[in-house]
């Protein structure tokens, strides 16, 4: 069994069985995903490597409190007015192992934000990273250009949701651009309490 999962069980976060219930897949399927030996696939969703653009420490704009933010590479959503179009092409990013990345993000006591790019295109790897960070007591926010319901339709993205706290969802829509709403670029985007939403099977807004 994967060491991360053993630690997880000890840390009382998610067991393989709990994850299998969450994604409605059998335990063997979850183990296969978690132990996938492929490192770099065309989409960049390797189980051991993440492609990223940058890491910023002590940000205050990517969620509540001081946070360390990883900006991943690759996005296929194509929002008009995107703040970071150079991140669309994965070859503009740098590969880093999950182990190294988790050490960098755990360098101080800050909570963590996954931003992009579109992290769900590397969902398996971000899922593993999230488990490590959660096991160290970090609160995790995820920014995605996809909506909560769209993410639920993909097994890997759904697993990633199971390991984070808050989702800021939806495309950046330039005609709805705003500077008045905290932590969002356009008014269509929602700040969602992911664990409550999964439990109650409906979208529960996160209370700021
Ligand atoms: S989802 Fe984010 S990175 Fe992707 S196109 Fe939209 S704003 Fe840009």
Chain segment 143-159, per-residue pLDDT in tens:
999 999 999 999 889 98
Q: What is the pLDDT of residue 48?
A: 72
Q: How many helices (H) and strands (E) are present in the chain, helices listed first?
A: 8, 7
Q: Counting atoms of ligand 1 from 1, which one is nearest the CA of 144?
A: 1
Report d(CA 159, CA 157) in Å as an integer: 5
Pocket of ligand 1 contains residue 146 by CB under 6 Å: no
Is 52:96 a contact under the CB 8 Å cutoff?
Answer: yes
Report d(CA 190, CA 204) in Å as an integer: 10
| Closest residue CA from atom 3 of ligand 1 | 117
Mean pLDDT of the residues in the chain: 85
| Ranges 44-48, 143-147, 148-152, 170-174: which has the least confidence | 44-48
Is 27:20 a contact under the CB 8 Å cutoff?
Answer: yes
Report d(CA 29, CA 54) in Å as an integer: 32
For residue 21, the SS3 value is helix
CATH among 3.40.50, 3.20.20, 1.10.10, 1.10.760 for 3-200: 3.20.20
Q: What is the pLDDT of residue 99?
A: 84
Distances (CA, A) of 3 to 20, 156, 202: 17, 19, 33
Q: Where are the domains of the chain?
A: 3-200
Residue 179 sits at φ, ψ, to 5 deg, of: -115, 5
The angle formed by the CA atoms of residues 4, 167 and 68, to the nearest 5 degrees, is 65
Assess whether pLDDT exceeds 60 at residue 40.
no
Q: Where are the alpha helices (DSSP H) in 24-172?
A: 27-34, 98-105, 123-135, 148-152, 155-161
Q: What is the pLDDT of residue 124?
A: 87
For residue 161, the SS3 value is helix
Cα 144 to ligand 1 centroid, rounded to whole Å: 8
| Ranges 2-11, 56-65, 176-185: which has the least confidence | 2-11
Pocket of ligand 1 contains residue 93 by CB under 6 Å: no
Is 45:125 a contact under the CB 8 Å cutoff?
Answer: yes
For helices 27-34 and 16-23, give the axis angle rounded to 10 degrees: 110
Q: Counting atoms of ligand 1 from 1, which one is nearest the CA of 76?
A: 4
Pocket of ligand 1 contains residue 117 by CB under 6 Å: yes
Report d(CA 208, CA 192) in Å as an integer: 10
The angle formed by the CA atoms of residues 127, 130 and 134, to the nearest 5 degrees, is 140
Cα–Cα nearest to 107, from 60, 57, 65: 57
DSSP state of 186: B
């Amino acid at each position: 069994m994967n060491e991360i999962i053993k630690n997880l069980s000890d840390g009382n976060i998610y067991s393989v069985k709990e994850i299998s219930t969450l994604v409605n897949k059998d335990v063997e399927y979850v183990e296969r995903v978690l132990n996938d030996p492929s490192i770099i696939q065309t989409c960049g969703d390797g189980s051991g490597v993440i492609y990223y653009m940058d890491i910023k420490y002590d940000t205050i704009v990517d969620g509540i409190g001081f946070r360390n933010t990883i900006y991943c590479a690759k996005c296929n959503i194509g929002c008009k007015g995107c703040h970071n179009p150079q991140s669309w092409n994965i070859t503009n990013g740098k590969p880093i192992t999950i182990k190294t990345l988790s050490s960098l993000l755990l360098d101080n006591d800050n909570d963590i934000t996954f931003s992009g790019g579109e992290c769900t295109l590397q969902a398996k790897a971000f899922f593993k990273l999230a488990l490590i960070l959660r096991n160290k007591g970090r609160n995790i926010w995820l920014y995605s250009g996809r909506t909560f319901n769209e993410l639920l339709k993909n097994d890997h993205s759904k697993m990633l949701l199971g390991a984070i706290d808050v989702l800021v969802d939806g495309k950046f829509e330039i005609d709805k651009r705003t500077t008045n709403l905290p932590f969002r670029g356009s008014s269509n985007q929602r700040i969602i309490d992911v664990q409550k939403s999964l439990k109650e099977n409906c979208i529960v807004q996160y209370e700021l």
